[in-house]
Structure 1
Amino acid sequence: MKKKRLLPAVVLSTAMLAGTFAPLPAEAVHTNVSTEAIAQKHGLDNGNKPMFVIEKQAEKQHASNAAAALDHLEKNTNKYKIKNPKASLLEKKTEKDELGMTHVRLQQSKNGIPVEGSEVIVHFNENNGVTAVNGEFNTVVDKAEMDTDPSITQSLALAAAKQAVKAPKKLEYQPTSELVVYPFEGDSYLAYKVNVNFMGEKPGNWFVYVNAQTNEVIDQYNALMHADGFLPAEGSGLGVLDDHRKLHVSHKNEKNREGTKFYLSDYSHNNLDGIHTYDLANQWGGTGEVHSKIGSAWKDDYDRPAVDAHYNSEKVYEYYLEEHDRNSIDGEGMAIVSKVHFGEDYNNAFWNGREMTYGDGDGEFFIPLSAGLDVAAHEMTHGVITHSGGLKYRNQSGALNEAFADIFGALVDEDDWEVGEDIMADPAKESGRTSLRSLSDPSKYPVGADYVPYGDGSGMYPSHMDEYYDLPLNLDNGGVHINSSIINHAAYLTGGQIGKEKLGQIYYRALTVYFTPDTNFSQARQALIQSAVDLYGESSEEALATEDGLNQVGITE
């Protein structure tokens, strides 16, 4: 292999890694910034007011449904500061969990138009008593007089969005658009929220907010989280690191002169639309084809990244099913799709809102990224987040998004508290980079030089809020990778006290029951502690350990 320079890291996953590796001395621009102050700076200035009210004496309702939730909010308008709940909140989703609790998720609206990022969740116990209310309600939007009739067409907004993100002419997926009220930088806009998704050397999962009155782009960010007739069969193969893998594959009931062709499509699981692994043949785009070959033994070097992607996807699927009774990424059996051999020497893997994509690495920093079980778990967890808490991919909510992907990566790959230790190339390991991130010791790795001036001056990944990087949006989407390590370390500290299994139950419940798109670190603390209380009881070892882990990293409010 041709010797190459050790490259600075690109963004991995919704990309898993951000920044370069060599820290540079710089003067810090802040220290000891409180969780409350940072939350106030990002998001709350738009009028989105967070709430997390625990009802010590549950108010009994006649039922646990959307109507009962709205009745409760109507009776307590002073407590929740929601003036007219029945006019401003619409039912989004109602779910009953394994504890017998019911959770009604309500979307704030203005004249029937959803308010971006503003959701309120009402939680009922098994006796129809309201136990808690949390989420965000935008009081500024609620009070404002707004014209919610668009002046431009959806097609014009789509064109403006595609131009803004320099989307290629050919798109693998049709862009989607919905009309929303979008609070941004102190103002509120009627906007088309456009999602443009494409592959290429710089793939994108862009969300673009286009002013529905003027057709101007208000805001945009890349949320790339860097077959009939088939019969089930069993096969085997070798992974990138020579691991022998037993595989669930499929074939058609036909033969040609060379033999039966087998496909990396797994139809062996009930109520699942399959696990499918595609080959992109080192192209930067296109849909690719399901990886196939004559015979059911997958041992060629070219097969190995596909073998690992296929095998690891099933392992992550089994974890979520067995540990959390979750059927696939969306909880409803959606197909799990992975694509390998993306581009050439691509040092990345990502979730693009629909599927996982893995590069082969350059052999200097990464080997094929599908070799890591924790990498697969990280990417698929981004999908779980998309279909549950929906954490927005910027600032603290984005850091929570990245942290939970890392945490569940470490839970599925239960051998250690590192992420990406199996995908590092020998030259990278020789230089001291033995993993992507460390939950046990985040500060073992430096951040990129561009980020150093915004932290405490150490230039290392932070383990505590005193080391928080107050980054602008144009750097790492406001610190989604950099600051995730604070939450990572809190999880590690808690897991050391109660074990990974209980940690997973607590963090999964917080994500799926209490998180909303704009959840910040402070709200996450409340949600995590409440989840531990729900599962194990107040003052339980598990609840105390959850609180202690957060306290130790400075998330104390």
Structure 2
Amino acid sequence: MHHRSRPTARALGAGAALSLALALTLSVTPALAAPGGPPGPTAEPDPVPGLVAGEGTATPQLVTGLSEPAPGSPAEAARAHLAANPDRYRIDTGQLAELAVERTAEGRDTVRFQQLHGGVPVLGGQYLVRLVGAGAGQRVESVGGKYFTGLTAPTTPAVPAAMLRRLALESLTDPRARSGATAEDQGPVVLPGGAGRLAQHFVVRATDPATGGPLVREVYVDAVRGVVALAHDAQGPYRAEGVGPGTGRAAAATAPAGSTAEPATGTAPDLLGRTVGVNIARQPDGGYQLVDLTRPATISTYDGAGRDYREFGGIPAGTLPVGSPTPDFPAATGTSGATDAHVNAGTVYDFYRDRLGRDGLDGKGSPITSVVNVSNGGNPFPNASWDGRKMIYGNGDAKYRQFAVALDVAGHEMTHGVIQHTADLQYSGQSGAMNEALADYFGNAIEVTARGTAMTDPKAALMGESLCRTGTPEECANRRLDDRRTTVKDYIGAGLDLDSGGVHLNSTIFSGALWDIRRTLDPLTADRLVYRALTEYLTPLDDFVDGRDAVLAAGRAMNLTRAQLRSVAAAFDAHGIRAGWQSRIDTDSRALLPGASAPTGPAAGGGHWVMGSTDPNGKGGFVLYTGSTTGTGTPTRLSPDDDRMHGWAATDGTSAVWLAIGIDATGSWGTEVLTRSLSGGPIRSVFQSSTQSPVDVRISGADIAFVVRDGETNRGSVRLSRNGAPPVEVPMPEGHGVSPFTASSLTLKDGRLGWIESWTAGQATVQAATAYSVATGQVTAQYALSTPDGAARPFLSSPAFAGGRLLWLQAAADPASGGDALRSGALDGSGESELLSGSSPYTPANMTFTATDQAVTFQHRGPRPSGSWSNADLPKLYQLPLTGGAPVRFSCNRGTQFSPAADQGTRVVWLDATAGRDDLVARNQPARGC
């Protein structure tokens, strides 16, 4: 995909845990002898790992079976233990900052450290030391987490702050979303893997132009190279298919009125019309509020009164909890959902305190706040979310009641608060799916415990079954924890642009294993086991297998029997959660570069592919690789040995041209266009600038072309280099009327240069697909593009030359009634034809296609499913002959297929997310019988 602005990295990963997306080297440290070692050869197998090596680090992921003296305060003892064993842990304790000490009623302490690099926090870098006993008898029981060795990334940004913010906003690829968008600077962070990458973290807030709902993204901009390194949705809503606020960071709720309020009891109607008792606060003026002062954590409930959820990033000044002149609250308290939210919050608090020994969501008894009855801009809002400080409950719609009614939903959202203050699992891919799974597990556990529901009751595993106004609980439930899904059979390989890599879509694989454990063990034992894994073992970037290891290690620490531990392991086995599960998923493509982590997709031609991917030598940049599209041989490196970002490449099958972004050998930051033969030889610089942004590089024989974007005017001009000469600007056709004229989205083949151009004429934006003869310097064809909303819906796809014609995508006149049409025109301008109608059931998605003289391949995404997403609903590649016909599936792989690049004939390479990660793969011809 070629952007109309400065190149930005595609959101890395595709359903993989963020740990996979960020680990730039995947070598596993050789196993060390675990202290306390495994049982002898005659003992039955121990399901608990004694030692788990880390990925891309010399520090172990998990070490169990320890019993080593550790006197002093827990934090001092933990740090001293790590420092005393440098060969075992490979940790610089000077780069650890104490995050928290979790102390249990039984006298256990878990010290959680944040890894720093030169004073900058490392994303997901947390290491934990677990201690038991006290005083002279205190000892270390186990350690583990993620500490990334080998970090050498700079800690001072090289890119101006204003540009970093601009790049964060430009990560919203739809220009309509950028209108009114904001980017909140969260500070610097080092992205782990290899040498690491210094990034500036932004929370980008916008309105989704497709739904009108909120769009909140976590965006990490490489502060040395000036590209987006990572982007994914922020903490999401309860329902995957809905919309919801959720940032993980919100302004603090205003404390309820006055410290002179007194505890009281009263009554209030709930949403179903029943009168229930409520804990309330009597105010100095004699009135009452829904403020529960009977617990260490004050519980306050506010009525949003149908106002937009955006007004409640914090509690607006002057807004008070729901009030009443008497202790008997009026009917509106029930119809708004306030009563249910208030009572449910108390029930969730009691579950965590009485059953698990936790004082509130943060473990410190801080206030608990709920806001009910909010809308989405005045429209129905059938959803709920945890926004980082409080619960937000939507006002429902014709199908769903106020979301505050459901105890399991309240437990789910409040558990997100517990997760935030403990493992803080990153909200993408497998770590995000575990975040959702744990919220579902405890939400259901809280409800069945409070209701006295037996685990054998089929309804026990249902989530949100009480929300529907009509229908059975089974019909209403949004998820069920006994759906029997497994990794190999059911994992949905979604990219980060869908549900943050499947955080809801894949959650029941993990929560299903946890629920099976609750059915097998005593429920109280299971709840304590899962809670202990969450609070004492898990760290932000953990994946499903890490989660399995955490639960088993927690089980050993709880002194579960060998039979109980085997039953826990069996539950994970039944859901396919075991090491190497990705390799057991069937695919019909051949792998060219498994686990690719790329700033952009591949290029292909002449039997070769070219693509930037992570640097295995650990410099922290991206290296340009090339290899055979048949999968033979080993990929070789084309780019120089520096720490710049190398990618956004093109190839004609003989040579490659690409962009290098970052600090060059002279110490200057900027972008350079480089070229080199695929067989090796010298690297030649074609163009270099610290102020202009080249994009859309193309190569064909001795010709190299690219677009230079002016940062101030946003005008794009085409530059052409012939036979190694310095590039010159291609003169644009005259007679366009009003300037500025701009060109974008190039194609170059056999002496023909094509582009999409646009200019303004009065109030209209005019666009055209243009063919240009390099030899004569003349435009040979220009085809007007019908874009009634052209300024709001610009072309992002490059045109292509194929079969002696120019191909382009033409925007639908009415996007609601059809997709984009694929059209072609003769190179002499003598006429155009339609290759694929916009009314076809299969039309290109994301305005992306690729072509050879034999076939056109494009990504297609079907209509949004009315129910749950499945692999069949994810974007897939389709191909049709250049002579026309019906598109057919190119690959039966079940996950997201994106960034196709045509090689020759019908062969295509693409990035495939089927295995929960981005794999560069290839196939020779369309599949049959998908």
**Aligned pair 1:332/2:364, yes or no?**
yes
1:277, 1:338 within 8 Å by CA — same for their partners in 2?
yes
Spell out, residue by residue over 1:67-120, the C-alpha distance to the aligned partner (whole angstroms, 9 max, x if none).
Answer: 44344334444433x2x5234333333333334333222222211211111111
1:283 aligned onto 2:280 = no
What is the root-mean-square deviation in Å for CA atoms of aligned residues? Answer: 3.2
1:130 to 140, 144, 147: 140
What's 1:439 paired with?
481
How much has 1:154 moved relative to structure 2? 6.3
Q: Does the 8 Å CA contact 1:177/1:193 hold for their aligned counterparts?
A: yes
Match of 2:213 in 1: 202
Question: How far apart, in 1, do the equivalents of 2:322 and 2:225 lie?
Answer: 46
Q: Take 2:126 and 2:349, find their aligned partners in 1: how far apart are those partners?
A: 28
Corresponding residue to 1:245 among 265, 269, 276: 276
Quote the Cα distance in structure 2 between the aligned partners of 1:224 and 1:252.
Answer: 35
Q: Are 1:60 and 2:69 counterparts?
A: yes
Structure showing the higher helix proportion among its residues: 1
- Give the structure 2 partner of residue 192 of structure 1: 200
CA–CA distance in structure 2, aligned partners of residues 197 and 500 of structure 1: 41
The residue that corresponds to 2:719 in the other structure is none
2:558 to 531, 535, 540: 535
Shift of residue 538, structure 1, vs aligned partner: 4.6
Distance 2:179 2:294 in 1: 37
- Mapped partners of 1:413, 1:378: distance in 2: 10
Gaps of at least 5 residues in structure 2 are 1-14, 27-55, 238-256, 454-459, 580-930
Worse-superposed segment, 104-113 or 206-215: 206-215
Which among 314, 323, 328 is matched to residue 292 of structure 1? 323
User: Helix, strand or coil for the counterpart of 1:104?
Assistant: strand
Q: 1:38 to 1:352 in 2, by over 3 A?
A: closer
Any idea what SS the aligned residue of 2:311 has? coil
Residue aligning to 2:461: 417
The reply on whether 1:384 has 2:418 as its aligned counterpart is yes
Instruction: State the partner residue of 1:221.
Output: 232
Give 1:457-496 correspondences, 5 Å limit. Answer: 462-496=485-519
**1:554 CA drift (Å):** 1.8
Q: Is the 8 A contact 1:205 1:353 kept in 2?
A: no
For the pair shown, which has the larger CA radius of gyration, 1 or 2? 2
Q: Distance in 1 between matches of 2:272 and 2:421?
A: 32
Distance across 1 between alignment mates of 2:388 and 2:341? 17
Q: Which residue of 1 aligns with 2:402?
A: 368
Cα separation, partners in 2 of 1:125 and 1:424, compared to 1, 3 Å: same
Q: Which amino acid aligns with 1:377?
A: G
1:253 corresponds to which letter in structure 2? P
User: Residue 73 of structure 1 aligns with which residue?
Assistant: 82
Deviation at 1:333, TM superposition (A): 1.6
Deviations 1:512-546 (A, max 9, x none): 011110111111111111112222345263x3332
Give the distance between the partners of 1:40 and 1:179, measured in 2 at CA.
Answer: 19
Q: Secondary structure of the residue that 2:107 maps to in structure 1?
A: coil
Q: Which amino acid aligns with 2:323?
A: S
Distance 2:416 2:178 in 1: 23
CA distance in 2, matches of 1:286, 1:402: 26
Give the match for residue 517 of structure 1: 540
Where does residue 114 of structure 2 map in the other structure?
107
User: Offset at 1:179?
Assistant: 1.9
Q: Secondary structure at the match of 2:547?
A: helix
The residue aligned with 1:310 is 342
Q: Which residue of 2 aligns with 1:342?
A: 374
Identify if the C-alpha distance between structure 1 residues 268 and 402 changes in structure 2 by more than 3 Å, giving closer, same or farther.
same
Aligned equivalent of 1:396? 430
Report if the CA contact (8 A) 1:465-1:486 is conserved: no
What is the percentage of aligned positions where both structures have the same residue?
Answer: 27
Does the CA contact (< 8 Å) of 1:107 and 1:119 recur in 2?
A: yes
Residues 114-154 of structure 1 show CA distances to partners (whole Å, capped at 9, x for unaligned) of 1111111122232333222211122342xx3x221234676
User: Counterpart of 1:44?
Assistant: 23
Q: Pick from 244, 265, 268: which aligns with 2:294?
A: 268
Instruction: Name 1:456's counterpart in structure 2.
Output: none
Q: Which has the higher strand share?
A: 2
Query: Residues 106, 501 of structure 1: CA spacing in aligned structure 2 closer, same or farther, 3 A cutoff?
Result: same
How far has the Cα of 1:251 moved from its partner? Answer: 3.5
**Higher RCO (CA 8 Å, separation ≥ 6 residues):** 1
What are the Cα deviations for residues 310-335 of structure 1, in whole angstroms up to 9, with x where unaligned? 11111111111111221211111221
**Cα pair distance change 1:233/1:206, threshold 3 Å:** farther
100-109 vs 158-167, which deviates more? 158-167
**SS of structure 1 residue aligned to 2:67:** strand
In structure 2, give the amino acid aligned to 1:439: L
**Secondary structure, aligned partner of 1:285:** helix
**Stretches of structure 1 lacking an aligned partner (at least 5 in a row):** 1-34, 255-259, 444-461
Matching residue's letter, 1:521: F
The amino acid across from 2:469 in the alignment is A
Q: Secondary structure at the match of 1:92?
A: strand
How far apart, in 1, do the equivalents of 2:372 and 2:17 lie? 39
The correspondence for 1:232, drawn from 254, 263, 273, is 263
Distance 2:75 2:431 in 1: 26
CA contact (8 A) 1:465 1:554 kept: yes
Specify whether residues 40 and 195 from structure 1 end up closer, same or farther in structure 2 by C-alpha distance, changes over 3 A only. Answer: closer
Paired residues for 1:123-162 under 5 Å: 123-126=130-133, 127-141=137-151, 144=152, 146-151=153-158, 161=168
Q: CA deviation at 1:303?
A: 3.3
Pair 296,530 (structure 1): closer, same or farther in 2 beyond 3 Å? same
- Cα distance in 2 for partners of 1:489, 1:439 equals 5
Residues matched between the structures, number: 485
Q: Distance in 2 between matches of 1:223 and 1:550?
A: 28
**Cα separation, partners in 2 of 1:388 and 1:351, compared to 1, 3 Å:** same
SS at match of 1:327: coil
CA distance in 2, matches of 1:62, 1:317: 34
Q: C-alpha displacement at 1:470, in angstroms?
A: 2.1
Letter of the structure 1 residue corresponding to residue 108 of structure 2: M
* 3-state DSSP of counterpart to 1:422: coil
| 2:222 corresponds to which of 205, 211, 232 | 211
Amino acid across the alignment from 1:224: Q
Partner of 1:178, secondary structure, is: strand
**TM-superposed deviation, 1:163:** 7.2
**TM-score, L = length of structure 1:** 0.78
CA deviation map 1:234-284 (0-9, x unaligned): 221222223432111224232xxxxx54322222323x2433333243434
Pick closer, same or farther for the CA change 1:38–1:409 going to 2, 3 Å.
closer
Q: TM (normalized to structure 2)?
A: 0.48
